[in-house]
Amino acid sequence: MNAPQTPAQFRPIATQTVITGEILPGDLPRALERCPQARVLSLDCFDTLLWRDTHTPADVFAALPGISPLQRRWAEAQARRAAGFGHGRQEVTIGEIYAELMPGAGAARRKEAIAAECAAEAAHCFAFAPTVALMRAAKAAGLQVVIVSDSYLDAGQLRALITAAAGADVAGLIDRYFVSSAHGKPKALGLYGEVLRKLSTPAHQILHIGDNKKADVDGVAPFGVNTLHLKQFSADVERQLRLEASLDAIIHPAQPTASQSATSSAIQPHRAALALAEPSTTDPAQRFGLSVIGPVMAGFDAWLRAEAEALQRSRGGQVHWLFLMRDGHLPMRVHVTRGGAATGASDPAHAIEISRFTATAASLTGDGDALDYVLREMGTLPEPLARQLLLPPAEIARLITGRGPQEASLALVEALRKGPVRAQVTQACRAMAKRLVAHVRTAVNPAKGDTLMLVDLGYNGTVQNRIDALLARELGVHVAGRYLLLRGKDKPGLDKAGFIDETHYDPHTLEALCANVAVLEQLCTTPMGSVVDYTDAGDPIRRANIVAPAQGQIREAVQDGVLAFAAAHAGATIRAEPGDALGRWRRGAASALARVMYLPQPDELAVLAAFEHDVNLGTERKVALFDPAVATRGLRQRGLFYLNGCERMYLPAELSGHGMALKLALLTNRRFGLPLTFDDFTEGSISLPVIFADTQTGNVAQQTIPARPTHDGFYMAAIPVGDGRFCAGVQLGQIAEWVEVDSIALMALEDFLGEASDASAEQIPITPAGEGMTEMAPRLWHAGAPDGFLMLRPPERRDGAQLMLALVFRLIVPRTPADGVKP
């Protein structure tokens, strides 16, 4: 097709320079400085003036009553084909689309359906504030403002949509509308020639701005019009939003197919703020905070404000915001940045230091509380458990020194059944409760009848469970827990709610979102150590901060990025009606959390690479946030089944480099609670001949062991060796000339068979001895003849535990199988 020709009367003279280029969203208000000769400001409509809070325009179709998105898209495609082949037009009207969509409906019914689509568009559209600022500057300078849009809506419908979405003030800034549906062709195919014929302004005195380079630059600049391409997002943000939209479909249930649909799909209310603030953020940690954590925290704060207002209306008195340190540190910073000053009378915000350790101790004030607690926590490491009871160090040493974990725990139980120790613990815990109340009273000093709104990340509200009754009794207040994520494991009957909780999500989804919360905790926390006690006056006593200073610096940069997002969001959008703003932010936050938890990107992992997680059990224990080597070992040893029961801090980060499929499999498994087992993950086993030698009797027997495929072409053979009495000669020479032996580990058979087993479970490496096989390079073995084998000798064990050898190998050059051995 020939390029559109510039009409002669609008061709710029030789001395006139036509401007073309790119403009970032934050620079829009100053765009006229690039084209001082402009007398007309020409703007694209969608994604330039009007933006949607959905990932794609078609996502809005999920909100159409009684119409599926696929039906709506099919009808538009059909209408475009009919217009092109039957009428020689490259654009259609919305009426033509609905004629294809509803061929049996009357005109009135189609009109209703079109009105419903326009209403759905208005509910999900908003004006981009920088574009409106540019329009106001243009009007102040005496310029005309025109909209030139590729749209199946007509000019009247487009004007009505802008009015409904952005308000009459914004619509009143626009002098004229030019739409492709009225002319049968889009901008890329010459629409701007029609625009120039109807304007009385020379082309070189027009500045056109739009987000689609093909339409708004390549289709307009040939007419001699100055053009700027609005670059909405960087490539990184485009990928982030695309992945968030993809996970939205997994995290959120499918839309209803009945007469009315609940909402659109792939809601992303943070698009405008990202476009505005991300290009000016160069530090990787700040960019991570701005683009990933910022939208989550902004939505959380908006919900907290609505919850505080609801508590005020329903209960009266004053609502005090108590941000639980340490994880409440970032939510409090966001709240202050967005206008909730910590000293403000309307919503006083306080940093309160109550840890699980102090809350639990303060709750064990009844005579039998400590014993009941220990019996419920049996299996926990005995030393932290004893420390939780506030026992003196000498008493802890007396109970656990020289005893194994099980024996030490039983000793602790027996001690608590005796009066003196039980009374000692009860007295210490009552004193802790008194000091904790003093801490709250000193920080807040609430009046009777006030509400203490505890703000935390979640995830079960354990601190609230422990101290709710204590604070209510001692201070005469109502306690309300408000959490980012809440997936209550019980029903304590307390006033609890979560921004993301069982009101909106099923239990499996909540479990999936909570599975990797360690990364969120480490980004939200404060550099101070966790509180372990209080003075009699209520001043917190903290343990030392054990996290490296470098991690604290990165975390501070991430939090600065979060605050930058909060500031940018405040001035990014103009909406005539807010609609269900909290619903949009909730859905967007859930998808954003799922994305960073299950599909972290390399630049994000680089920010978190050196992060450690402090376990916070009253000890100074800390572990790496993620360790890719653990995942590699687990996948090769157990395949995808490794994901089914593996308990890691940030498992998807460890899977980085193994492909998206594994991470999606992990999310899907957790999201839907799939009842999968080891056998379900393995297909195509090969038979591995093994000679067993009994070290006690000298008897020798040959068996065939199945080797199951795991990952990256590796196989794992589970070779039983009793309690260590059997040696195994693995006849790899029968199935391969060259073989890579990745690992050989001795482990308890029970650990391997258990569905909750972990690649980091106790394993003893075994060094093989080659018989007719030679190790030519590390892990690379050559079998010169089919009778070559590896002899595996486990260490002698006589505790009766049944053991197995996990042999992980990969066939480099398979051998033609011997008789009776099937590959």
Buried b (16+ CB within 10 A) or exposed e, 363-399: bbbeeebbbebbeebeeebbbbbbbbbbbeeebbeeb
The predicted-structure confidence for 439-485, as pLDDT tens digits, reads as follows 999 999 899 999 999 999 988 899 999 999 999 999 999 999 999 99
Q: Kindly tell me the sign of the dihedral angle through the C-alpha atoms of 763, 764, 769, 774.
A: positive
Does the pLDDT at position 246 exceed 90?
A: yes
The predicted-structure confidence for 126-176, as pLDDT tens digits, reads as follows 999 999 999 999 999 999 999 999 999 999 999 999 999 999 999 999 999
d(CA 74, CA 476): 62
d(CA 120, CA 123): 5
d(CA 462, CA 308): 21
Q: Give residue 12's pLDDT band: very low, low, confident or very high (50, 70, 90).
A: very low
Domain boundary among 189, 214, 232: 232
Number of domains in the chain: 2
Question: Alpha-carbon Rg of the chain, whole angstroms?
Answer: 33
Does the pLDDT at position 5 exceed 90?
A: no
Does the pLDDT at position 250 exceed 80?
A: yes
Helices (H) and strands (E) in the chain, counts: 31, 29
pLDDT at 322: 96
pLDDT at 293: 96
Q: Do residues 419 and 437 make contact, with C-beta atoms less than 8 angstroms apart?
A: no
Residue 401 phi/psi, 5-degree rounding, is -65, 130
Q: Give residue 820's pLDDT band: very low, low, confident or very high (50, 70, 90).
A: very low
Task: Single out the residue of 710, 701, 709, 693 nearest to residue 769, CA to CA.
Answer: 693
Which ranges in 571-659 belong to alpha helices (H)?
Answer: 581-598, 602-608, 628-638, 641-645, 651-654
Which of the two residues, 524 and 797, has the higher pLDDT score? 524
d(CA 496, CA 477): 15
pLDDT at 15: 44
CA dihedral 525, 526, 529, 531 (to 10 degrees): -80
pLDDT at 341: 44
Q: Flag the least confident range among 221-235, 369-383, 438-452, 709-723.
A: 369-383
Q: Does a structural domain hold residue 781?
A: yes
Which of the two residues, 700 and 634, has the higher pLDDT score? 700
Question: What does DSSP say about strands 451-456 and 478-485: parallel, antiparallel, or unpaired?
Answer: parallel
d(CA 6, CA 18): 13
Domain boundary among 188, 216, 232: 232
Give the CATH number for residue 761: 2.60.40
Q: Does a structural domain hold residue 261?
A: no
pLDDT at 278: 95
Question: Encoding tokens for residue 507?
Answer: 């239990």
Task: Single out the residue of 330, 342, 276, 265 nearest to residue 298, CA to CA.
Answer: 330
Q: Kindly tell me the sign of the dihedral angle through the C-alpha atoms of 365, 371, 377, 381.
A: positive
Which of the two residues, 751 and 193, has the higher pLDDT score? 193
The predicted-structure confidence for 87-131, as pLDDT tens digits, reads as follows 778 899 999 999 999 999 999 999 999 999 999 999 999 999 999
DSSP string, 436-480: HHHHHHHHT-PPTT-EEEEEE--SS-HHHHHHHHHHHHHH--EEE
Give the CATH number for residue 206: 3.40.50.1000
What's the rounded mean pLDDT across residues 500-510?
Answer: 93
Q: Do residues 18 and 549 make contact, with C-beta atoms less than 8 angstroms apart?
A: no
The predicted-structure confidence for 281-298, as pLDDT tens digits, reads as follows 999 999 999 999 999 999
DSSP string, 676-733: --GGGG--S-EEEEEEEEETTT--EEEEEEEEEE-STT-EEEEEE-TTTTEEEEE-GG
Q: Do residues 334 and 566 make contact, with C-beta atoms less than 8 angstroms apart?
A: yes
Q: Does a structural domain hold residue 339?
A: no
pLDDT at 307: 96
pLDDT at 7: 43
Amino acid at 264: S
What does each C-alpha distance from 69 to 65, 372, 764 come to in angstroms? 10, 55, 56
What does each C-alpha distance from 639 to 224, 282, 634, 688 come to in angstroms? 61, 39, 7, 18
Domain boundary among 232, 250, 274: 232
Question: Encoding tokens for residue 24?
Answer: 């970032």
Q: Do residues 588 and 245 make contact, with C-beta atoms less than 8 angstroms apart?
A: no
The predicted-structure confidence for 713-735, as pLDDT tens digits, reads as follows 999 999 998 888 889 999 999 99
The distance of Cα 481 from the centroid of its chain, to the nearest Å, equals: 23
Does the pLDDT at position 819 exceed 70?
A: no
pLDDT at 622: 64
Domain of residue 46: give its range: 8-232
Question: Encoding tokens for residue 267?
Answer: 């809601």
pLDDT at 755: 47
Q: Does a structural domain hold residue 797?
A: yes
What does DSSP assign to residue 55? S
The predicted-structure confidence for 638-654, as pLDDT tens digits, reads as follows 777 666 555 677 888 88
Q: Does a structural domain hold residue 152?
A: yes
pLDDT at 645: 55
Q: Does a structural domain hold residue 81?
A: yes
What does DSSP assign to residue 571? T
Q: Do residues 73 and 47 make contact, with C-beta atoms less than 8 angstroms apart?
A: no
467, with CB counted inside 10 A (0-12, 13-18, 19+), is: buried
Does the pLDDT at position 85 exceed 80?
A: no
The distance of Cα 815 from the centroid of its chain, to the nearest Å, equals: 47
Which of the two residues, 681 and 144, has the higher pLDDT score? 144
Q: Give residue 658's pLDDT band: very low, low, confident or very high (50, 70, 90).
A: confident
pLDDT > 90 fraction of the chain, expressed in percent and rounded: 65
Amino acid at 667: L
Q: Does a structural domain hold residue 605?
A: no
Q: Does a structural domain hold residue 66?
A: yes
d(CA 335, CA 344): 12
pTM over 0.85: yes
The predicted-structure confidence for 29-76, as pLDDT tens digits, reads as follows 999 999 999 999 999 999 999 999 999 999 999 999 999 999 999 999
DSSP string, 365-402: -STTHHHHHHHHTBTB-HHHHHHHTT--HHHHHHHHTT
What 3-state DSSP class applies to 748?
strand
pLDDT at 621: 59
Does the pLDDT at position 11 exceed 70?
A: no
pLDDT at 4: 43
* pLDDT, the chain, mean: 88
Does the pLDDT at position 257 exceed 50?
A: no
Does the pLDDT at position 623 exceed 90?
A: no
